[in-house]
Amino acid sequence: MKQLATITGLSLALAALSGCEADRISEKDFSLPEGNAMDGQEAFVYLHCYECHTIDGVELPPVLSDEPPYVELGGQVTQVKTYGQLVTSIINPSHKLAPGYPLETISEDGQSKMPLYNGYMTVQELIDIVSFLQPHYQVIVPQYHYRVYP
Protein backbone atom coordinates (compact mmCIF):
# COMPACT_ATOMS: atom_id res chain seq x y z
CA MET A 1 0.00 0.00 0.00
CA LYS A 2 2.79 2.32 0.96
CA GLN A 3 4.48 1.47 -2.31
CA LEU A 4 1.34 2.38 -4.23
CA ALA A 5 1.16 5.72 -2.46
CA THR A 6 4.79 6.39 -3.34
CA ILE A 7 4.16 5.55 -7.01
CA THR A 8 1.04 7.73 -7.10
CA GLY A 9 2.97 10.53 -5.45
CA LEU A 10 5.79 10.16 -7.92
CA SER A 11 3.55 10.19 -10.97
CA LEU A 12 1.73 13.26 -9.64
CA ALA A 13 5.05 15.01 -9.16
CA LEU A 14 6.11 14.01 -12.67
CA ALA A 15 2.86 15.29 -14.18
CA ALA A 16 3.29 18.59 -12.33
CA LEU A 17 6.87 18.82 -13.54
CA SER A 18 5.97 18.18 -17.17
CA GLY A 19 3.30 20.88 -16.82
CA CYS A 20 6.01 23.27 -15.68
CA GLU A 21 8.19 22.22 -18.60
CA ALA A 22 5.44 23.17 -21.07
CA ASP A 23 5.05 26.52 -19.29
CA ARG A 24 8.76 27.10 -19.35
CA ILE A 25 8.95 26.98 -23.15
CA SER A 26 5.68 28.83 -23.75
CA GLU A 27 5.87 32.03 -25.81
CA LYS A 28 2.89 33.41 -23.90
CA ASP A 29 3.25 37.13 -23.02
CA PHE A 30 6.13 37.61 -25.42
CA SER A 31 5.82 41.19 -26.56
CA LEU A 32 8.15 43.43 -28.56
CA PRO A 33 8.14 47.20 -28.12
CA GLU A 34 7.50 49.33 -31.22
CA GLY A 35 10.55 49.41 -33.52
CA ASN A 36 11.73 51.85 -36.15
CA ALA A 37 11.47 50.46 -39.68
CA MET A 38 13.94 52.98 -41.17
CA ASP A 39 16.60 52.07 -38.61
CA GLY A 40 15.74 48.44 -39.34
CA GLN A 41 16.51 48.86 -43.03
CA GLU A 42 19.85 50.45 -42.12
CA ALA A 43 20.65 47.59 -39.76
CA PHE A 44 19.66 45.10 -42.46
CA VAL A 45 22.28 46.67 -44.72
CA TYR A 46 25.15 47.10 -42.26
CA LEU A 47 24.68 43.60 -40.88
CA HIS A 48 24.93 42.39 -44.51
CA CYS A 49 21.62 40.53 -44.47
CA TYR A 50 21.22 41.51 -48.12
CA GLU A 51 24.05 39.16 -49.08
CA CYS A 52 21.56 36.31 -48.93
CA HIS A 53 18.22 38.09 -48.97
CA THR A 54 16.26 40.25 -51.32
CA ILE A 55 13.02 41.97 -50.42
CA ASP A 56 10.51 42.60 -53.15
CA GLY A 57 10.26 46.33 -53.83
CA VAL A 58 13.26 47.32 -51.68
CA GLU A 59 16.49 48.52 -53.23
CA LEU A 60 19.46 46.92 -51.52
CA PRO A 61 23.20 46.91 -52.30
CA PRO A 62 24.32 44.33 -54.87
CA VAL A 63 25.14 40.85 -53.62
CA LEU A 64 28.88 40.26 -53.23
CA SER A 65 29.33 36.53 -52.75
CA ASP A 66 29.22 34.18 -55.74
CA GLU A 67 26.64 31.70 -54.64
CA PRO A 68 24.71 32.92 -51.66
CA PRO A 69 21.94 30.71 -50.28
CA TYR A 70 19.44 33.10 -51.76
CA VAL A 71 16.15 33.52 -49.89
CA GLU A 72 13.54 36.16 -50.62
CA LEU A 73 11.97 37.91 -47.64
CA GLY A 74 8.55 39.53 -47.68
CA GLY A 75 6.15 38.91 -50.54
CA GLN A 76 2.91 37.05 -50.53
CA VAL A 77 2.06 34.70 -47.69
CA THR A 78 -1.17 32.96 -46.84
CA GLN A 79 -0.87 33.64 -43.11
CA VAL A 80 0.22 36.71 -41.19
CA LYS A 81 3.95 36.62 -40.49
CA THR A 82 4.03 37.27 -36.75
CA TYR A 83 6.90 39.02 -35.09
CA GLY A 84 7.35 35.88 -33.02
CA GLN A 85 8.08 34.01 -36.25
CA LEU A 86 10.38 36.72 -37.57
CA VAL A 87 12.34 37.02 -34.33
CA THR A 88 12.70 33.24 -34.20
CA SER A 89 13.88 33.12 -37.84
CA ILE A 90 16.60 35.61 -36.96
CA ILE A 91 17.83 34.45 -33.55
CA ASN A 92 17.21 30.73 -33.97
CA PRO A 93 17.29 30.15 -37.76
CA SER A 94 17.45 26.37 -37.62
CA HIS A 95 14.28 26.11 -35.52
CA LYS A 96 12.12 26.11 -38.64
CA LEU A 97 13.69 26.38 -42.07
CA ALA A 98 12.08 28.66 -44.65
CA PRO A 99 9.57 26.67 -46.72
CA GLY A 100 9.77 26.36 -50.49
CA TYR A 101 13.53 25.90 -50.95
CA PRO A 102 15.59 22.77 -51.64
CA LEU A 103 17.08 21.75 -48.27
CA GLU A 104 20.61 21.52 -49.71
CA THR A 105 20.42 25.18 -50.80
CA ILE A 106 19.46 26.60 -47.43
CA SER A 107 20.83 24.12 -44.90
CA GLU A 108 23.64 21.74 -44.07
CA ASP A 109 23.04 18.68 -41.85
CA GLY A 110 19.64 20.10 -40.92
CA GLN A 111 21.17 23.41 -39.77
CA SER A 112 20.33 26.70 -41.46
CA LYS A 113 23.12 28.26 -43.52
CA MET A 114 22.14 31.61 -42.04
CA PRO A 115 24.86 32.86 -39.70
CA LEU A 116 24.05 33.50 -36.03
CA TYR A 117 24.04 37.17 -35.15
CA ASN A 118 23.14 36.74 -31.50
CA GLY A 119 26.64 37.58 -30.25
CA TYR A 120 26.71 41.05 -31.78
CA MET A 121 23.27 42.15 -33.01
CA THR A 122 21.71 44.46 -30.43
CA VAL A 123 18.17 43.87 -29.22
CA GLN A 124 17.24 47.28 -30.66
CA GLU A 125 18.54 46.21 -34.08
CA LEU A 126 16.49 43.03 -33.87
CA ILE A 127 13.34 44.96 -32.97
CA ASP A 128 13.92 47.50 -35.76
CA ILE A 129 14.66 44.82 -38.37
CA VAL A 130 11.42 43.03 -37.49
CA SER A 131 9.52 46.35 -37.82
CA PHE A 132 11.18 46.85 -41.19
CA LEU A 133 10.48 43.34 -42.52
CA GLN A 134 6.96 42.76 -41.26
CA PRO A 135 5.10 45.21 -43.56
CA HIS A 136 6.74 43.60 -46.59
CA TYR A 137 4.70 40.45 -46.08
CA GLN A 138 1.40 40.68 -47.86
CA VAL A 139 -1.30 38.30 -46.71
CA ILE A 140 -3.33 36.85 -49.56
CA VAL A 141 -6.31 34.55 -49.44
CA PRO A 142 -5.36 31.25 -51.06
CA GLN A 143 -7.34 30.50 -54.22
CA TYR A 144 -8.80 27.05 -54.41
CA HIS A 145 -10.04 25.77 -57.72
CA TYR A 146 -12.75 23.20 -57.48
CA ARG A 147 -13.60 21.14 -60.48
CA VAL A 148 -17.19 21.77 -61.39
CA TYR A 149 -18.97 18.66 -62.61
CA PRO A 150 -21.83 19.27 -65.02
Secondary structure E strands in the chain? 53-55, 71-73, 75-77, 107-108, 111-112, 137-139
According to CB under 6 A, which residues from 86 to 115 bind ligand HEC? 86, 89-90, 93, 97-98, 106, 112-115
> Of 60, 29, 41, 30, nearest to 131 (Cα)?
41
Q: Which is nearer to ligand HEC, 21 or 72 (CB)?
A: 72
Other CB atoms closer than 10 Å to residue 23's CB: what's the count? Answer: 9
Residue whose CB is nearest to ligand HEC in the complex, by number: 49
Q: Is 55 in the site for ligand HEC (CB under 6 A)?
A: no
Smallest gap from residue 141 Cβ to ligand HEC (A)? 19
Q: Would you count residue 51 as binding ligand HEC (CB under 6 A)?
A: yes
Range in contact with ligand HEC (rule: CB under 6 A) among 20-28, 40-48, 54-62, 135-143: 40-48
Sign (positive or negative) of CA dihedral 76, 80, 83, 88: negative
Interaction between residue 69 and ligand HEC (CB under 6 A): yes
For residue 95, give the nearest of 85, 105, 81 by alpha carbon.
85
- Kindly list the distances between the CA atom of residue 26 and the CA atoms of 30, 84, 93, 107, in Å, as whole numbers in the listed order: 9, 12, 18, 26
Which CB atom, from 52 or from 60, has the smaller least distance to ligand HEC? 52
Structural Rg of the chain based on CA atoms: 22
Exactly one of 117, 128, 131, 134 binds ligand HEC (CB under 6 A); that residue is 117
**Binding-site ranges for ligand HEC (CB under 6 A):** 44, 47-49, 51-53, 68-69, 71, 73, 86, 89-90, 93, 97-98, 106, 112-115, 117, 129
